[in-house]
Amino acid sequence: MKTMTIFLSAMLSVLVLLPAAPAGAHGDEDHGDAPAGTVAGGLARLPDGSVNLPKLAQRRMAILTVPGQPQAHGVTLELNGWAALDPNAGGLVQAPFSGQVAAAPSGLAVAGQRVQKGQVLAYLTPVASAIELGNQQAALAELRANRGLLTQRLQRLLALEGSVPRKEIEAARAELQSLQGRESAIAASLSGRVAIRAGTGGILAGAHALNGQIVNAHEMLFEIVDPQRLLVVAHTIDPSLLERVASARLSAYPSVTLRLQGGSRQMQDGALALNFLAHTAGASLAVGQPLTVLLQLKEQRQGIALPAEALVRNPANEHIVWVKHSAERFVAHPVEYQALDANTIVVSKGLAPGQRVVVAGAALINQIR
């Protein structure tokens, strides 16, 4: 009896130490709640870096893909440049002598104003030091006295016409006319004013004259530019580039067409200047504005042409494009590229022929985390 009591006590101790089975468990099955996770088929960035994008989300984001096909494209080169004044369609207006600026009847011309060729922009009244002014006044007085004497002499010769050789009369008349011209010039320099006129039509890019301002000879007063006819100057260190250029465009202004005018054969600051005539076609460029010039060379290069918006950057700051690998899976491909023109790039490495590349909505896919 005592043995049976000890056995039952041991069995109760074992039952107390055993863990309680979960409610509803059947055999080895576990029906507890699974940890929360990403819903299969939802919009998400996958662990391998690809993106799962459902069809409905693709339509909402207007995702567009095209198959990449390698073709031969012209090699492009990017140069830094700027807009410059076309000497045949603009110019500078400088002071011909030292003088004081006075307004024209319509007022002083200001920057941004459109002017016509020959239009009076301002008046310039000559100024001189006290010594120069005194010398000019003395010279004017002497010329006036000599003019009086020559006038009397010519009158006497005319009274004796017929008995005096005609050549003496003609010589006296020519001398009097010369003296009158010198007198008029000196008198104008003392009291007259000269109209400063526009040498060509266009828009005033700069106006540096103020009413009453004293300016020196050759000082710039106005700058005239034709905004529809400008030069674009680009710099290169390759002397052979001039013969290799097929066409040129501006990166930020696709509507502007460039026509090569020539290139310098003398290096300045270690570079050669290439000059292009720009037809702006409504685009707005300013003289001195920095520009990026895209040159298309005569050489050919094999690659896949894509719109520039297909190119984005990954977190490592690498250039990538997104490729559609399946109906709802997109994978980023690092690529090497060159700009073909303002809106197109050519991928030379990183893509296989026939892969469907995202050409619209790549930036939206790139933002999915």
Q: Is 309 helix (H, G, I), strand (E, B) or coil?
A: helix
In the predicted structure, residue 19 carries a pLDDT above the cut 60: no
Q: How far is it, in rounded angstroms, from Cα 236 to Cα 248? A: 14
Q: 347: closest CA among 331, 358, 333, 336? A: 336
CB 348 within 8 A of CB 338: yes
CB 51 within 8 A of CB 329: yes
- Rounded to a whole number, what is the largest CA-CA distance in the chain? 188
pLDDT at 333: 94
The CATH number of domain 51-73+300-366, selected from 3.40.50.2300, 1.10.15.40, 1.10.3720.10, 2.40.420.20: 2.40.420.20
Q: 79: closest CA among 297, 306, 256? A: 297
DSSP character at residue 108: -
pLDDT at 129: 62
pLDDT at 332: 94
Q: 341: closest CA among 246, 262, 275? A: 246
CB 219 within 8 A of CB 95: yes
pLDDT at 112: 86
pLDDT tens sequence across 61-104: 999 999 998 988 877 788 899 999 888 888 889 998 888 899 98
pLDDT at 66: 93
Mean pLDDT lowest among 126-135, 235-244, 304-313, 323-332 = 126-135
Q: How far is it, in rounded angstroms, from Cα 143 to Cα 329? A: 98
In the predicted structure, residue 200 carries a pLDDT above the cut 60: yes
Q: How distant is the alpha carbon of residue 225 from its chain centre?
A: 16
In the predicted structure, residue 16 carries a pLDDT above the cut 80: no
Q: How distant is the alpha carbon of residue 267 from its chain centre?
A: 23
Residue 100 amino acid letter = Q
Beta-bridge partner residues of 122 = 196
pLDDT at 99: 86
In the predicted structure, residue 31 carries a pLDDT above the cut 80: no
Sheet containing strand 194-197, edge to edge, reads 194-197, 120-126, 99-102, 214-215
CB 51 within 8 A of CB 365: yes
Measured between its terminal Cα atoms, the distance across the chain in Å is 73
Q: Where are the domains of the chain?
A: 51-73+300-366, 78-87+225-299, 91-224
Mean pLDDT over 279-293 rounds to 83
Q: How far is CA 254 from CA 57, 257, 333, 341, 345, in A?
A: 33, 8, 28, 8, 14
The CATH architecture assigned to 78-87+225-299 reads Beta Barrel (2.40)
* Two structure tokens written together for 286: 């300013």
pLDDT at 190: 67
Q: Is 160 helix (H, G, I), strand (E, B) or coil?
A: coil
Same fold, 78-87+225-299 and 91-224: no
Q: For the domain bounded by 91-224, which CATH number is listed?
A: 2.40.50.100
Mean pLDDT over 138-144 rounds to 82
Q: Is 11 helix (H, G, I), strand (E, B) or coil?
A: helix
- SS3 percent helix, strand, coil of the chain, rounded to 5, is 25, 40, 40
The winner for highest mean pLDDT among 241-255, 271-285, 345-359 is 345-359
Confidence of residue 226 (pLDDT cuts 50, 70, 90): confident
